[in-house]
Amino acid sequence: MGHALALAIDLGGTKVEAALVDDRGVLLAGSRHRRPTGADATSAGLEAAVHEVVDAARAAVPAGVPLRGIGIGAAGPIDVDGALVSPLNVPAWRDFPLGASVAGRSPDLPVTLRIDGLCITLAEHWVGAGRGVDNLLGMVVSTGVGGGLVLGGRAVPSPTGNAGHVGHIEVGGFDDPCPCGGSGCLEAVASGPRTVAWARARGFTGETGEDLAMAHAAGDRVALEAVHRAGTAIGRAVASAANLLDLDVVAIGGGFSRVAPALFEHARAALAERAGFPFVTRVRIVPSGLSDEGPLIGAAALVHRPELLI
């Protein structure tokens, strides 16, 4: 008999994925499935996409291997008590009962839902760049900017489930409008789409984060400026969070975090400006140790590592 499995679901602004993850944090080969989400999706279409990936992943459970439960990481904001989701970049769902929808499909399994930023942080703490560290901010820099917190070796207390949403810390020196109602939010400045949009307004002709990455590698001036701007905003947000929380490590994943190594260099440089406070500048800003599997591993941690949750 193999290791016990969790069915992990990751719901984001561009896709929903599901996979089977064992109790060592390893994805089961052939069990990972995805469908698109996005701003144009309907509620019924989104729910169908979730059910499709769940059914496909569950069909991959080997005979005789126990399936312990279902963990869901969802873009926020969420309502943890009702397992409701209102992803900012998925307008068709506002207070959608995702937990109940998934549970109705698999009534034999317990379902646990948390914000995706917390899930990525739990994954880093469990098997990634935050192993052995008790005070950790995990960040996802992608379509949006999410985050989560492990403090004192456990998920931070969070009455609604939204603690750690570092993407909506307002960053000094920026005033980009944010759909949340803020101005200069980290997500509005440093997410992939907003960084590309900033570059396009200054003559960049590419359309995606991948285009920006290639232009940056080729030394394109606007691309260099765009990555510098995003990295600086990330570093300032990390400095603010470190002042508030006295962190050891900030682990950053997500597709846009890989736009260029310079993104991390600029973030570290912005953090280092807080030279008067060694407890802030001691924070290590590191890439995720989990490639693009982190959100799914984190969703599985909700099932396999319940002791990390409050």
Q: Are 167 and 181 a contacting pair, CB within 8 Å?
A: no
Q: What is the pLDDT of residue 160?
A: 95
Average pLDDT of every residue of the chain: 95
From 14, 13, 3, 58, select the one nearest 33 (Cα to Cα): 58
Average pLDDT for residues 193-202, to the nearest whole number?
98
Average pLDDT for residues 237-263, to the nearest whole number?
97
Q: What is the Cα–Cα distance from 166 to 145, expressed in whole angstroms?
A: 7
Average pLDDT for residues 39-65, to the nearest whole number?
95
Who wins on pLDDT, 37 or 102?
Answer: 102
Q: What is the pLDDT of residue 89?
A: 81
Q: What is the Cα–Cα distance from 185 to 174, expressed in whole angstroms?
A: 8
Q: What is the pLDDT of residue 2?
A: 65
51: Cα within 13 Å, side-chain hemisphere? 12
Average pLDDT for residues 277-301, to the nearest whole number?
95
Q: What is the pLDDT of residue 128?
A: 96
239: Cα within 13 Å, side-chain hemisphere? 23
Average pLDDT for residues 184-202, to the nearest whole number?
98
Q: What is the pLDDT of residue 14?
A: 85
Average pLDDT for residues 211-236, to the nearest whole number?
98
Average pLDDT for residues 40-44, to the nearest whole number?
93
Q: What is the pLDDT of residue 310?
A: 73
Q: What is the Cα–Cα distance from 123 to 121, expressed in whole angstroms?
A: 5
Does residue 1 have a pLDDT over 90?
A: no
Q: How much of the chain exceeds pLDDT 90, in percent?
A: 91
Q: What is the pLDDT of residue 232?
A: 98
Q: What is the Cα–Cα distance from 99 to 111, expressed in whole angstroms?
A: 7
Burial 187-207 (b: 16+ CB within 10 A, else e): bbbbbbbbbbebbbeeebebe
* Band of residue 81 on the pLDDT scale cut at 50, 70, 90: very high
Average pLDDT for residues 211-237, to the nearest whole number?
98
Indicate the DSSP class of residue 94: S
Q: Are 54 and 107 a contacting pair, CB within 8 Å?
A: no
Domains of the chain and any CATH numbers = 5-116 (3.30.420.40), 129-289 (3.30.420.40)
Average pLDDT for residues 91-114, to the nearest whole number?
96
Beta partners for residue 96, in sequence order? 85
* Band of residue 59 on the pLDDT scale cut at 50, 70, 90: very high
DSSP annotation string for 200-211: HTTT----SHHH
Average pLDDT for residues 98-126, to the nearest whole number?
96
Q: Are 252 and 141 a contacting pair, CB within 8 Å?
A: yes
From 252, 254, 253, 191, select the one nearest 226 (Cα to Cα): 191
